[in-house]
Amino acid sequence: MALSYYAEELKKTAAAIARPGKGILAVDESTKTVGKRLASIGVENTEDNRKAYRGMLFTSKGLGEYISGAILFEETLFQNHPDGESMVNKLEKLGIIPGIKVDKGLRPLAGGHDVETFCSGLDGLVERAADYYEQGARFAKWRAVLQITDDGCPTNLSIQENAWGLARYARSVQESGLVPIIEPEILMDGAHDIAKTAAVQEQVIKTVYKACQENGVLLEGTLLKPSMTVPGADFTPKADPQQVAEMTIRTMERSVPASVPGIVFLSGGLSEEAASVYLNLMNKIERKAKWNVSFSYGRALQHSCLKAWGGSNIEGGQKALLARAQANSEASTGSYVTGSQPSSDEALFVAGYTY
Ligand code: 13P
C-alpha cells in the first residue's frame, strides 16, 4: 500500500497520541533487558512472568487518562493476558493505542569509533510493519543511539548513518500505516557540559529531518523521541533543572519542524522525579512551535511500579504506575507540583546502557 493511502490515518493517529495531557508508556524492553529488570526484584525471566508483569500494567484502571500509547516488544503484541484476553484488547479497553518496537537492535558501526553503532532491522520492514498493523499496532519505534566522547564522537559517519536509518525506517512503516516514533537518543555517558550536548543534538536532529525530507516522510504522521539536553552524567556540578528545560526547548526550536505534532522525551536514566520535574519546567516555557511536549518513558514510569509489584502485588504495582503516569501527565501541561506523587529519586543511569 502506498503512503498516500494511509496519509490521513497517519495524521490522525499521531495527533491522537500527542493529545494534550497524554504521554507514552514504553514497555518494549527486549527479552534480555526485561530479564535484568525482573532479576532486580528476584523474579525469573520466564514468559509467564513477563506476561504477569505486563498484564498487570495493562489492566491498571484509569491509565488511559494519562497514557495515550504503549510501546510493546513483539512478544507482547502477539500475547494474551493470563486471563486469556489479548494484550492488545486490554490496552484498547483502556483507550491506549498499541505500538511496537520494530528495530532489531544496535550493531557495531564499521568505520566508526569503537563505541559507535547503527540500528539494524530495515530488511523486510514494510512487510513486518504490515503484519503488526494487522495485529492492532498503530505506531512504531526505532531507537538509534549516539554517544559523545572527548575523542570525536559522534563522528559524521555515525550521524549520517543513524539519521538515514531513522528516515528509511520512518518511510517504511508509514507505507504500512504505522506512525513512526523517531528516536535519536544521545546517551548521558561522559563528562561534557550541557553546551556540548546541545550543539551535538542540534546537528543530529537537523540531519534526521534532512534525511526524512529526502525520503518523503510525512512529518505530520510522525513523532520525535529525543533525549533531554543534559550535561554528561560525569559532569560537575550536577544539572540545573531550569537550565536543562531551557536548553532542551532551545535545541528543539532550532531543529524540529513545526509540522511534527509531538515531541515525546525518553527518560534515559534520569530518576523518576527528575524526569517529571524537567518535563514540567519545559512546559512552563512559552514556545515558538505548537508541538505537544510530553513523555515516552520506560524506566521513569516503571521503576517504583516494578518494585511495588515485586512479582505478585498487582494492586501495589498499579498504584505506583498510576502515580507516575499522573505526575507525568501533569508535567506535560506544566502543572506538576514537585513531590506531589510518590516516586523514587534513585538515579537510574547505567553507563553503557543497552536496551
Ligand atoms: P527510558 O525512558 O527508560 O529511557 O526508555 C524509553 C525508551 O523507549 C528507550 O528506547
- How far is the centre of ligand 1, averaged over its atoms, from the C-alpha of 1 (Å)? 31
> Given pLDDT bands bounded at 50, 70 and 90, which one contains residue 340?
confident
- How far is the centre of ligand 1, averaged over its atoms, from the C-alpha of 5 (Å)? 31
Rg (CA), the chain: 19
pLDDT at 278: 98
DSSP H helical ranges for 218-347: 241-255, 272-282, 299-309, 314-331
Closest CA to 286 of 246, 239, 259: 246
Indicate if ligand 1 lies below 6 Å from the C-beta of 300.
Answer: yes
Residues near 304 by Cβ (< 8 Å), separated by ≥ 6?
A: 272, 320, 323, 324, 342, 343, 344
Show which residues are catalytic. Answer: 183, 225
Model pLDDT for residues 131-176, shown as the tens digit of each residue? 999 999 999 999 999 999 999 999 999 999 999 999 999 999 999 9
Cell numbers placing 204: 543530529
Indicate if ligand 1 lies below 6 Å from the C-beta of 297.
Answer: yes
> Given pLDDT bands bounded at 50, 70 and 90, which one contains residue 75?
very high
pLDDT for residue 52 is more than 80: yes
DSSP state, residue 240:
P
Residue 109 one-letter amino acid? L
DSSP state, residue 86:
B
pLDDT for residue 346 is more than 90: no
CA distances from 27 to 10, 30, 54, 139, 150 (A): 22, 9, 8, 14, 33
Report, as an integer, the average pLDDT of 4-32.
Answer: 97
pLDDT for residue 355 is more than 60: no
pLDDT for residue 93 is more than 60: yes
> Given pLDDT bands bounded at 50, 70 and 90, which one contains residue 354?
low
Residue 151 one-letter amino acid? D
Residues near 239 by Cβ (< 8 Å), separated by ≥ 6?
A: 194, 230, 231
Alpha-carbon distance of 200 to 142, in angstroms, equals 20
pLDDT at 341: 83
pLDDT for residue 31 is more than 90: yes
Residue 328, Cβ density class (10 Å: 0-12 exposed, 13-18 middle, ≥19 buried): buried
- Residue with the smallest CA separation from ligand 1 atom 9 is 266
Residue 106, Cβ density class (10 Å: 0-12 exposed, 13-18 middle, ≥19 buried): middle
Long-range Cβ contact pairs of 107-114 (< 8 A, separation 24 or more)? 109/157, 109/158, 109/161, 111/157, 112/155, 112/157, 112/158, 112/161, 113/149, 113/151, 113/152, 113/153, 113/155, 113/158
Domains and CATH numbers, the chain: 3-331 (3.20.20.70)
Report, as an integer, the average pLDDT of 122-129.
Answer: 98
Alpha-carbon distance of 88 to 79, in angstroms, equals 8
> Given pLDDT bands bounded at 50, 70 and 90, which one contains residue 14?
very high
Closest approach atom of ligand 1 to CA 300: 2
- Residue with the smallest CA separation from ligand 1 atom 8 is 26
> Given pLDDT bands bounded at 50, 70 and 90, which one contains residue 353?
low
Closest approach atom of ligand 1 to CA 302: 3
pTM over 0.75: yes
pLDDT for residue 220 is more than 60: yes
pLDDT at 339: 85
Closest CA to 129 of 160, 162, 169: 169
Mean pLDDT (the chain, rounded): 96
